[in-house]
Every structure is written in structure tokens, then in C-alpha cells.
A and B are shown apart, each in its own frame.
Chain A
């Protein structure tokens, strides 16, 4: 509601579980998002993408026939055919490898969230809009595990992450999840100015190049977190 409303976001839902598919459809429709079609499997997604050219595909990971990672494969294939397609993958468990594959797949918006995040309606709808607009939405579990890893790995030589203050670390986590400055400010209950100050400190301490655009910023942070791990 707070967003100025341009053209409505056009979405396709791929989910084999009828209860979840219908629930998601109702939830998005209620919130002014245009669900152009739904599918139950990968081939269904590819047909819809060819026909409707949607802005965003919301995809379950496990789909028929093998119920393993068809959702990821189908989503990546759909984006190969339609590079402007934003992807939001929903999963019942967090797998860092999947988020890595999604982020590496192109420039358009990417999201990877645990399924139960749909129950936080406002936050979820924000994430849908953000991803459709080319932004990023990474589940806090994914970011959390990356942060834990980088932070604790510095027992021998200390990691630059250790030089961050608690507030800066919290800010970094929220940025890595793809949140905008305004959203970070809201969540941490600080002013926009304070968030900008934290961010410039973080980029300086971690020696990251200054970037414009939220998506590029997320990528820079995530690349940093992954590179310091291996």
C-alpha cells in the first residue's frame, strides 16, 4: 500500500500442492498482485513463461515427477529462455547451494525463501514486489549461516567481520537479505541517516567497492561472504 503503484506485478505460481497453490494465489491476489497463471510442474512453468511472459515466477523446489530439485532446474531454464524473468524460489528447507545457483543465474531479481515466510504477509508481499522489480530476497537462514561461518572462521587470523560493531553486523545481515535502506531502518528502528552511516562504515571496513542499486550491493556483500569462506 505504501508503494506507489505502477503496472501491477504479473506473477506465475508453480506449486504441486493444491492447498499451498490456492492459498498463495489468494494471498497475492488480495494484495494487488496479478497472478496470470499457476502450474504444477516444470514443463507447466515453461509453457506459461512462453505464453504469458510474466515478470516473476514463484516456484517450489520439489516438484513432480522426481520431487527433488526440479523447481530450481525449471526456474533456471525458464530464466534462460526469458532473461527478464525474476525468480522467487520457496523451499521447506534452506540449501545454500540453491541460493548460490539462483544468484549466479543472471541480473534480474532473485529470491530464495523458506515457505513459512509466506505467513508474514506484509514482509512476503514486499519481498515479492522487490524481487519482481529486480531486487533480492534471501532468507535470513541463508544469510545467517553465511555470517556465522565467516565470523567464527577467524579463530586463527581474525576476520574483517570481527571489526564490525553489533549494529553494523545486523545491518549487513539485512542488506544481504536484500532489504532496502528504508526497510533496514524500519526493522532496526533507527533513522535512514543512521543506516546509511552504518553501510558506508561496513563497505569501508570490508574494503568493498561502493555500488549503486540494491541488487548489486547484495551481490557484492554475498560475494564477499562467500569468498572469505573457502
Chain B
């Protein structure tokens, strides 16, 4: 607002300063002539003064309008500015001609109608366009998020059936080779070499498994959210009670987001309140999935921490809502609502 005001005042200054020397000289000349001729009678110079003021004002508006960065608003604002100058000019004429009946109301009303009609029309057209655009974006984003979630599940499955299975087969063959070599009383170094190879293959399997779990937890795809949350609770290493009421499966994207909300909340609870009991509640009602993860620990979790920020982004990408309350000494509560359309 203050920036806008300073722009206006700067424009007025520039517009006026350029015109000042000739206008001021002209004004003084007129005053001089009036003083010489009429000797203080009817002050006719007010009419040329009026003209000078109006010209200066129009000039200032022109300069101001062209000095602004937003080109789209220029024609409209210029019209508004010229209209204002015109109305004030008419009121001045009305005042200088002795007042009486306030006739400038009519041209002013006409001007308002002239300006208002395209404004209202443009506004509603913009609104309609925006509505269509918002609908379109909502739909395409939901589509993109769903596609992404199914793609992640497909990648997990491909890893499982492809690379992981082959590595298991490889490690099994290495195990058999090792066993045969050892059985034949082969050189200990040779047996050790095969054993090392087998351990490498096993390590690769473990890494792939962790990777796959991070991409899309298998139990979530296989058994749904309730089982996956229970599994998270089981492996969290804490006292966790789970209360889940989900009678049908929400879309994969919602399931994934809900799973990671619970996972991150449990990680946080383990970090900030180790040993404190945790309560998880998940419900599906009126096509909304609700999640609450609460502990009675120390509180003081940082809602701006990277884990929670990532979580919020995940939830907001689904038009959901996430809240973290963690007052010191009162435990931590993470709540999330995810719409499932």
C-alpha cells in the first residue's frame, strides 16, 4: 500500500514538475493582467487556472499510469483516474459558477455506469475462468498423485519379482557352491571367496528390501492400511495401541500418505518421548480418512523439522490437512485429515 502511494506521489511530482515553469509564469501573467484591467472585480483568471490544474492532473495520471509494472490494469486505472479528474473538474466548475443545483451528479453517474459495466463484466468473466481452471487443476493433480502412487507400487513389485528374486537365486546358488566346495574339502581360501560373494549378495538383498519398503511398504499394498499401521506399531519398539476403523480401502495415494504420517509420527515419538505409550487412531468416515497419533511424552517436537515439513507437503498434495501440537511437558499429538474422493 505504501509502495503504491509513493509511486503515485512520484508520478505526480514528475508530471507536475515538467509543467511547472510555463504554468506558473502563465498564472502570474494572468494575475497581473487581471490586476491591471479589472482592478479586483470578477476574478476571471480562475477559469484559465481551472484549465491549467486539469491539464496538470491529467498529465500526472498519464505518467503514473505508464510508470506501473502491471500492464493489464493500465487501461482500467487510467479510465478511473481520468474520470476522477473529470468529476472533480465538474465540481469545481459548479462551485466557481455559484453553486445552486448540483448538476455534476448526472455526468458523474454516467461516468460511473460507463466504468462499472465493463468492470463487473470483466470480474465475473475472470471468476468463471478461475473456477474452471481450479477444477481442472484439482482434477489433474489428483490424477497425477494417483498415478504416482500406483507407479510406486508397481516399482516395488518389479523390484520384488525382478532384481530381488534374482539376487535371492544368486545367493542360493552361491550358498550351494560354497556347501559343495566345503564338502569336497576344497581349499579354505576358495570357500572363503564364495562365502564373501554370498554375503555381498545377501547385503544387496537387504539394501533392496529397505529401498522397496521406503518406496511403497509391501504390507500396505498387500493387506491395507490397518495391517500396515499395526505392523509399524509392532516394529516401532514402543508401547503402541492401535484403534483402526476402516471398512474399505482408500485410494493408494491416500493409503501411502496415511502410512507415512503414522511412520513419521512414531519416529518422532521414539525420538522425543522414548518409552511413553503411544495411541494411534485411524478412521474412515464421510469419504475422509482421519489419523491421530498421540503420546504422553515430553512434547517439544519442532513442527518445522524436516520430517514434519515433508509430511505436511505429502498431505497437502492431497488437499489434506496436518496439525502437530507438541507443547513442552504435555506430549505430542499429530492429526491429519485426508479427503478420499
Interface residues of A (CB under 8 A from B): 17, 19-20, 23-24, 26-27, 30, 62, 67-69, 92-93, 95-97, 115-116, 118-122, 124, 145, 148-149, 151-156, 229-230
Please, which residue of chain B has its CB at the minimum distance from the CB of A61? B222
Please, which residue of chain A has its CB at the minimum distance from the CB of B218? A93
Chain A contact residues: over half helix, strand or loop, or mixed?
helix
Q: How far is the CA of A120 from the CA of B168 in the complex (A)?
A: 11
Contact A118/B209 with A97-B227, A145-B235 known, Cβ cut-off 8 Å: no
Among A17, A30, A116, A155, max chain B CB count under 10 A is at A116
Report yes or no: A97 in contact with B231, Cβ–Cβ below 8 A: yes
Q: How far is the CA of A163 from the CA of B219 in the complex (A)?
A: 34
Report yes or no: B168 in contact with A62, Cβ–Cβ below 8 A: no
B201 to chain A, nearest CB (A): 7
Q: How far is the CA of A26 from the CA of B173 in the complex (A)?
A: 10
CB within 8 Å of A: which of B161-188? Answer: 161, 164-169, 171-176, 178-179
Contact A119/B198 with A24-B172, A93-B209 known, Cβ cut-off 8 Å: yes
Q: How far is the CA of A152 from the CA of B201 in the complex (A)?
A: 32
Segment at the A interface, from B71-79, B236-244, B305-313: B236-244
Chain A residues whose CB sits within 8 angstroms of the CB of B213 once the complex forms = 93
Among B160, B175, B201, B236, max chain A CB count under 10 A is at B175
Report yes or no: B219 in contact with A116, Cβ–Cβ below 8 A: no
Contact of A121 among B178, B212, B218, B236 (CB under 8 A): B178
Q: How far is the CA of A153 from the CA of B167 in the complex (A)?
A: 36
Q: How far is the CA of A30 from the CA of B157 in the complex (A)?
A: 31
Please, which residue of chain B has its CB at the minimum distance from the CB of A1? B183
Chain B residues whose CB sits within 8 angstroms of the CB of A149 once the complex forms = 234-238
A40 to chain B, nearest CB (A): 13
Please, which residue of chain B has its CB at the minimum distance from the CB of A124? B175
**Top-6 shortest CB links A-B:** A155-B275, A119-B175, A119-B171, A68-B222, A121-B179, A19-B169
CB within 8 Å of A: which of B238-293? Answer: 238-239, 241, 274-276
B193 to chain A, nearest CB (A): 15
Contact A152/B241 with A20-B172, A97-B227, A121-B176 known, Cβ cut-off 8 Å: no
Report yes or no: B165 in contact with A20, Cβ–Cβ below 8 A: yes
Q: How far is the CA of A30 from the CA of B173 in the complex (A)?
A: 12
Please, which residue of chain B has its CB at the minimum distance from the CB of A148? B237
Task: Add 14 more A-B contacts to A119-B168, A124-B175 (CB < 8 A).
Answer: A17-B169, A62-B222, A93-B212, A95-B218, A96-B235, A115-B205, A116-B167, A116-B206, A119-B175, A149-B234, A151-B237, A156-B275, A156-B276, A229-B234
Chain A residues whose CB sits within 8 angstroms of the CB of B219 once the complex forms = 93, 95, 97
Chain B residues whose CB sits within 8 angstroms of the CB of A115 once the complex forms = 168, 205
The verdict on B87 contacting chain A, using a C-beta distance below 8 Å, is no
Among A26, A69, A95, A124, max chain B CB count under 10 A is at A95
Report yes or no: A30 in contact with B223, Cβ–Cβ below 8 A: no
Q: How far is the CA of A156 from the CA of B202 in the complex (A)?
A: 38
Contact of B202 among A23, A68, A116 (CB under 8 A): A116
Q: How far is the CA of A69 from the CA of B235 in the complex (A)?
A: 19
